[in-house]
Amino acid sequence: MTRTAIRTLSLSLFSVLATTPVLAQAVTQAVAAPAPVAYVYVATSKGINLYNAVPNGKLTLVSGSPFKTTGLMIGSNQRYFITLGINWVRSYPVKANGAIGAQVSQINTQNYSGRDCGTTNGAVLDHSGQDVYVLLNLPPDGDNVCNAFQTFKIATASGQLTFNGATSTDTKFAFTGAPPVRNLPTILANNKFAYAINDFRFSTTVDLPDGSQQDLYLNGESTFSRESNGTLEYQNTGPLFRSWAFPLPYDDDDEYEWFPLQVTADPTNHLAVAIHPWYHPPFGASRSAQLASFTVDSQGHPVSTNTYKNMPLPDVSPNVLNMSPDGKLLAVAGGTSGGLQVFHFNGGAPITKYSNVLTTNPINWIRWDKAHHLYALSTNGKLYVYTITSTSIAAAPGSPYTVSGPAGLFVVPQ
């Protein structure tokens, strides 16, 4: 072999060896999994499944799932995961990949004020993730004449739970056997006010054709102020007192009253509320629910300038409402009646229709992340994921996913 050929071969080998690490690095970077845009927690009969959601909405089950916890899944503040039992609130540390660790704290709601209203009936975290608000209104004797919100503080460094106060109210005109159902409050983005539906602002006894009597309890609304220490305080305490300024009467008829069903807040000072008109309640006929927008004033009072003519009627029963993080999209879901639909939310202006019904399956839980994904979970074991912007809607790859024994949904955007 000539010197020229040897020199050419040497240079070729050097070139290959020199570029190999670069090529390897490029291949490694090409196949590396994208960083998750959200942690998706799904409660099941066997524990809590954790999924990573990537930018296109595809879900991947995280190793270690299902994670074992006790009680109802409430949610995560990214440091600690909270669950709720009949009496106990519990906290668990959250690892860097979203995995749930062993329990670090528990506290008994029955040791504190508000316990006279009964056992727990759900809980919710505030926007800061520092406070857990626990609703108590399930007394063991079946009677229900009060409801209480206890506040528990989550220690940042340790996850220890401490009682921080309680607020409670009587259900006026309540009768034996009042239904123990309330909705948890939605908290305004500024963390200053909270709003809940179902404080039974009106109740009465009516005579039935067979000579018996029936107690009726009609939905009302409550406004809370959030104190500097995190506790909630009622602003309106009587079921006949209304601090909300509702739209004008349906069909311009003063015999109609608006009754709220569900409420959710946007990132500023607006609320989306599902309401329905009722003629001469409780004796007249009620009509289909409509969607109204409210603007919250500086005192926390929601005011609506909508009218029955410009409030949309959803094609699904509005059992669950959830607002996108940017406040531009409103998801509406029906439980037993089924269905999922999305609307444009326009602040204090009327809500406008966007999608048709995306699925007719009963949807019991809905959540958004900050990457334009909507997650919808049904008790029939289907988890739907959609990528939704203001101009397009598409099912994410792999959607719907099958979940065995679903019991709750919580999403932590990354």
Query: SS3 for 330?
Result: strand
Segment among 43-52, 139-148, 294-303, 404-413 with least mean pLDDT: 139-148
More confident residue, 167 or 350: 350
Residue 234's pLDDT band (cuts 50, 70, 90): confident
Segment among 196-200, 271-275, 276-280, 375-379 with least mean pLDDT: 196-200
Token code pair at residue 238: 């009587």
- As a residue count, the chain comes to 414
**Residues 385 and 350 sit within 8 Å (Cβ to Cβ):** no
Separation of alpha carbons 354 and 330, rounded Å: 9
- Show the CA angle centred on residue 86, arms to residues 331 and 222, nearest 5°: 50
- Show the CA angle centred on residue 354, arms to residues 351 and 359, nearest 5°: 120
pLDDT at 199: 53
Question: Please, which contacts does 14-18 make with residues 24 or more away whose CB atoms are closer than 8 Å?
Answer: none
Q: From 372, 380, 381, select the one nearest 411 (Cα to Cα).
A: 372
Separation of alpha carbons 327 and 195, rounded Å: 17
Separation of alpha carbons 249 and 258, rounded Å: 7
**Residues 75 and 94 sit within 8 Å (Cβ to Cβ):** no
pLDDT at 190: 87
Residue % of the chain over a pLDDT of 90: 65
pLDDT at 397: 98
Separation of alpha carbons 150 and 302, rounded Å: 24
- 222: how many CB neighbours lie within 10 A of its CB? 26
Token code pair at residue 22: 């670069």
Separation of alpha carbons 117 and 146, rounded Å: 5
The mean per-residue pLDDT over the stretch 8-23 comes to 44
Separation of alpha carbons 14 and 55, rounded Å: 40
Separation of alpha carbons 220 and 258, rounded Å: 10
pLDDT digits (tens, 9 = 90+) for 297-342: 988 989 999 999 999 999 999 999 999 999 999 999 997 677 999 9
Average pLDDT of every residue of the chain: 86
What are the strands, taking DSSP E only, across 94-248?
105-108, 119-125, 131-138, 146-154, 161-170, 186-187, 193-197, 202-207, 213-218, 221-226, 232-234
Token code pair at residue 382: 């289907």
The mean per-residue pLDDT over the stretch 62-67 comes to 98
Separation of alpha carbons 183 and 18, rounded Å: 65
pLDDT at 402: 97
